[in-house]
Chains A and B, each alone.
With several copies, the nearest count.
Chain A
Amino acid sequence: MTAIAIDIHSKTYSAQGTAPAHRAIANLKLTLTSNEFICLVGPSGCGKTTLLNIIAGLDPDFKGDIRLETGHKKPVIGYVFQNPRLLPWRTVRENITLALAGEHAPETVDALLDIMQLTQAQHVYPERLSLGMSRRVSIIRAFAVNPDILLMDEPFVSLDAPTARQVRNLLLELWQRRPHTVLFVTHDLREAIALADRLLFLSPSPMTVMGEISVPIARAERNDEAQVEAFRQKLLAHYPEIKTLL
């Protein structure tokens, strides 16, 4: 039940030593209705992570305004960072449960660990995991908190195709069971089409919205590779303004 109104006038990383100041975001206006699933597509280094950080409240140093309209007071945020950001001195399971406030049902964690095939590794320290495994832990952590807003920064890279498929389905299932707003960053257009209500195409720095396209495919048909591919071809052919991004 969370709508987000984003109105960032500008976000500038200040100069430091030899590095010049860098304007990462300029005039970005965006409204996300409740329970929308949005995919962000944009060139590397355009400012996607910066945007997610701002929405998550991790970076208050920008000009503009973010409004999170939630029913209850403080929206719970699940954030799959671009790097797993696990605490290396806590086991897999501890890393997940630490993110859960106070009381939590161990079964949910068990179930998620099981789906992600990490039950065996649950008492292992993250240094002993492969990168893909760490990423899965970080995904579980974000799912487990039952977020009102779910921010996912390229969450499925380093996952093999079958696992990625599975996690994608899980994500949709969770989303349909308990609606929440999802912002999903990806470079894979097929993935974006298969998941999103709306695709946002972002310009290189300073980032702003270049194009906005709703995906007209019914949820039930998203698993059909052919449909996705067809829409992708259409995009590639018919939208010259976002051509450079694809």
Chain B
Amino acid sequence: MRLLQNRYRLQLLNALSLLLLLGLWQFLAFYLNSNTLPTPAVVAKVFWQETVSGQLPYHLGITLFRLVVSFTIAMLLGCALGIVLGCNKALDAFFDNWLVIFLNIPALVAIILCYVWFGLVESAAILAVVINKLPNVVVTVREGTRTLDQDLLEMARCYHFGRRKTFIHVVWPQLHPFLMAATRSGLALIWKIILVVELLGRSQGMGYQLHLFFQLFDVAGILAYTLAFVAVIQLIELVILKPLDKKAQRWRR
């Protein structure tokens, strides 16, 4: 009973917060009364028009495709590298410099070089995103790997768990919070990067479209597209990340 009520309360709070944000926005827009901050209603209208015209779904779809591909590659590679570096001091010493350098190469530089070398093709765009995102994942996962519980690893060794079992049952659950952090901030980072990537070398996608709006200073358009993206991420959050979180945390008292 109480638990149920509790859950309802949390959901209520969740809905409330959205409402409050909308209210704030409406108030601000009303108060400023400038085309630099259109009201929610105006944005919703633009959103609707763009959706009906098929423009928004088209560009959103393309950007999401790029996001999914590059996110997957970056996470898989990043986890592998992060774990290896976290476990092996020699490799870590060797690649630490590279990591810092790649971490701090401006998005712009990586993108330009990728495009110029590999041509304005889809794979170059995705590679550019991966290069930007990968070092972040590596750094986070490496940090996580360094905190692994030695007692449990010893136990696994003693009982001959082997690599696969050790990874799945001992290492992975401990890395979970770090992976969650990397995922959440990673989606956001990729989204920031992908916009620049599309801006500089693709003829479709949200970044391309947002730039057009920016040239015309069409804030309503920008916000409508932003909202669409945020909604998708919110959906991912609700359908994938939250349940994952819940499942991974259910052992906690």
Residues of A within 8 A of B (CB): 14, 16-17, 53, 56-58, 76-77, 79, 81, 83, 85, 87-90, 94, 98-99, 101, 125-128, 141, 145
Contacts and interface: CB of A to CB of B under 8 A. Distances in A.
Given A58-B158, A79-B158, A141-B159, A89 B251 contact: yes
Contact of B252 (A77, A85, A127): A127
B253 interface: yes
B173 A127 contact: no
* A interface secondary structure, majority: loop
A236 B88 CA distance: 51
Contacts of B251: 88-90, 125-127
A165 to B, nearest CB: 27
A130 to B, nearest CB: 12
14 contacts: A56-B158, A58-B158, A77-B159, A81-B155, A85-B151, A85-B154, A89-B248, A89-B251, A90-B251, A94-B169, A98-B165, A98-B169, A127-B251, A128-B253
A53 B151 CA distance: 11
Nearest to A82: B151
Interface in B131-176: 151-152, 154-155, 157-161, 165, 169-170, 173
Q: Which of A56, A79, A83, A99: most chain B CB closer than 10 A?
A: A99
Interface residues of B, number: 19
Nearest to B252: A127
A79 B159 CA distance: 8
A119 B151 CA distance: 26
B158 to A, nearest CB: 5
B3 interface: yes
A89 B247 CA distance: 10
B89 interface: no
A125 to B, nearest CB: 4
| Ranked 9 nearest A-B pairs via Cβ | A125-B251, A99-B159, A89-B173, A127-B253, A85-B155, A89-B251, A58-B154, A17-B250, A79-B158
B157 A87 contact: no
A134 to B, nearest CB: 13
A59 B131 CA distance: 39
A81 B173 contact: no
